[in-house]
Structure 1
């Protein structure tokens, strides 16, 4: 429960065992706060959601997102520490990432970052994506803004976040909901076709391309023009100043960004691609550090009677639907 308190003449707020600090984000139905555990000082991010204003569709999607975060415990997936529910609010206590998101990192480095750093981030994205596939999950909104960084340097641990569009999808299963972010959205989704988990691999290719070139692979003034530019392209074009990229890097981009999902890399081929299999210096040290970093809290237990969410409607805390429900989230 959120309580207002005073200390030394100042006013501060507590949510459970956490002292709430500055605001670090906001949406139509949520606010994200930086906070610290009042006893051991662990930094966290608290997402305060006004559940009383969520319609049934958004509530179901929120339940699905929480279910996934409870289920997955991996250094490259954002960690759920705790949840606190009130009659009209839900506080989700998440791992705090000091480095912001990958989009901010790209902007701070004037668009283009060294290939060795891009490879470091891509290897971690692949590790996180691998655990999602092992659990038959598809993310459906992979983009730099949804990839958080533990620090703001090249040694940062990358963490996949924002599972609002994610759903369970068996190996031969197909989805059909239009969702995601156009610049990183697979063409089969934009064409309103049924699609499989390979749609995530297109998004990964777009992220990889942007990391090493500073630009998204395809652009357009609107979604229709963007799709037209994708469909008329016969071969992925790299900027003239990208001539120093390694052959493996360019090969991975081309094979991930194939329009036809049948011709696109499989997940197994992606995980075993030479570009990703080349070990980075100090990888073993990074992995050990990231494993220790997520052991500060016991992982929330999942009710074994809960079934997998076989279908999930699109979810955004900025959804403009006004049909609210008072049903409890948890």
Structure 2
């Protein structure tokens, strides 16, 4: 492995090296437990991304999910799944060397471009479908599908999409359920927020929320105020622990917003499409979005129903 130094946590300090990679700047992550770096391969200069995970104090369940992430990514090779290049472990950290996606994530794409045309949404959903098919073959439930975890090969609408960040993923075989509360609230299925047992259909809800946001430019269910929307966007629930952006201390606001989000979902008799947009969409598009965002998981589209839906044949 050679000489390895743990990287510093700010981008203003001298670059560090990990194995054969030189870390250049921080791209994101969830400090202090996880940081994602832009890096280069020292031997070739090829750009890569390096996900650094602090192992000290990592809860057992999160360690299990990390092991699931590594095993899954090491076992698959698919254009719509982020590619794992290398794994390096030091005494304090695990580093996943991943392909670098220069187009950023889908959330940034929507922020730059606003809502997309139906044919672009269909193309994006076909790619997400192809990636999810790989997850289903391996009985993996992602549990944190959202625009921030869908990466783009380029910033254009013809980019290749890649499902990333399997840090909350777990194996869940047919007929199995789990009840761990985790994910990102704006894209979290109601049964998770209600502390109910759930299966792989939680991913289908998240896909529906992503489709709705692609078509409208905003999530289907939001808090009543800008502060609540910000709290919902920044706070992630991981195994019953509130994990916040370090600059935000809004737990009380988050709890209130989460309750209002559930109330908003329960009160809705239809999805909040704008009327001009709704009239322009193909009925199969509206049907898919509506059935993916069904609050009753029994009636929600299964992956197979989603895979074979008529929207993909329009």
Normalised by the size of structure 2, how large is the TM-score?
0.81
> Would you say 1:72 and 2:76 are equivalent positions?
yes
> Would you say 1:211 and 2:247 are equivalent positions?
no
Q: Distance in 1 between matches of 2:89 and 2:81?
A: 23
The one of 153, 163, 187 equivalent to 1:160 is 163
Mean Cα deviation higher: 132-141 or 68-77:
68-77
Task: Give 1:287-298 correspondences, 5 Å limit.
Answer: none
User: Aligned pair in 2 of structure 1 residues 66, 211: CA closer, same or farther (>3 Å)?
Assistant: same
> Would you say 1:259 and 2:262 are equivalent positions?
no
Matched residue of 2:49: which SS? strand
User: Aligned pair in 2 of structure 1 residues 24, 237: CA closer, same or farther (>3 Å)?
Assistant: closer
> Rg larger in 1 or in 2?
1
The one of 184, 188, 205 equivalent to 2:187 is 184
Q: Distance in 2 between matches of 1:196 and 1:55?
A: 22
Query: What displacement does 1:59 show?
Result: 2.8
Q: Distance in 2 between matches of 1:3 and 1:264?
A: 45
Matched residue of 1:249: which SS? helix
Larger relative contact order (CA 8 Å, sep ≥ 6): 1
User: Aligned pair in 2 of structure 1 residues 13, 189: CA closer, same or farther (>3 Å)?
Assistant: closer
Match of 1:308 in 2: none
Task: Give 1:84-95 correspondences, 5 Å limit.
Answer: 84-95=88-99
Query: What displacement does 1:41 show?
Result: 3.0
Match of 1:247 in 2: 283
- Number of residue pairs matched? 272
Q: Distance in 2 between matches of 1:42 and 1:273?
A: 40
Q: Distance in 2 between matches of 1:261 and 1:58?
A: 25
Mean Cα deviation higher: 202-211 or 28-37:
28-37
User: Aligned pair in 2 of structure 1 residues 53, 187: CA closer, same or farther (>3 Å)?
Assistant: closer
> Would you say 1:101 and 2:105 are equivalent positions?
yes
> Would you say 1:145 and 2:148 are equivalent positions?
yes
Q: Distance in 1 between matches of 2:69 and 2:87?
A: 13
The one of 67, 81, 87 equivalent to 2:85 is 81
Query: What displacement does 1:263 show?
Result: 1.2
| Structure 2 residues not aligned, in runs of 5+ | 8-13, 225-256
Q: Is the 8 A contact 2:85 2:98 kept in 1?
A: yes
Match of 2:174 in 1: 171
Q: Is the 8 A contact 2:65 2:170 kept in 1?
A: no
> Would you say 1:223 and 2:227 are equivalent positions?
no
User: Aligned pair in 2 of structure 1 residues 89, 165: CA closer, same or farther (>3 Å)?
Assistant: closer
Matched residue of 2:78: which SS? coil
Query: What displacement does 1:19 show?
Result: 2.7
> Would you say 1:121 and 2:121 are equivalent positions?
no
User: Aligned pair in 2 of structure 1 residues 212, 33: CA closer, same or farther (>3 Å)?
Assistant: same
Match of 2:43 in 1: 39
Q: Distance in 1 between matches of 2:91 and 2:120?
A: 45
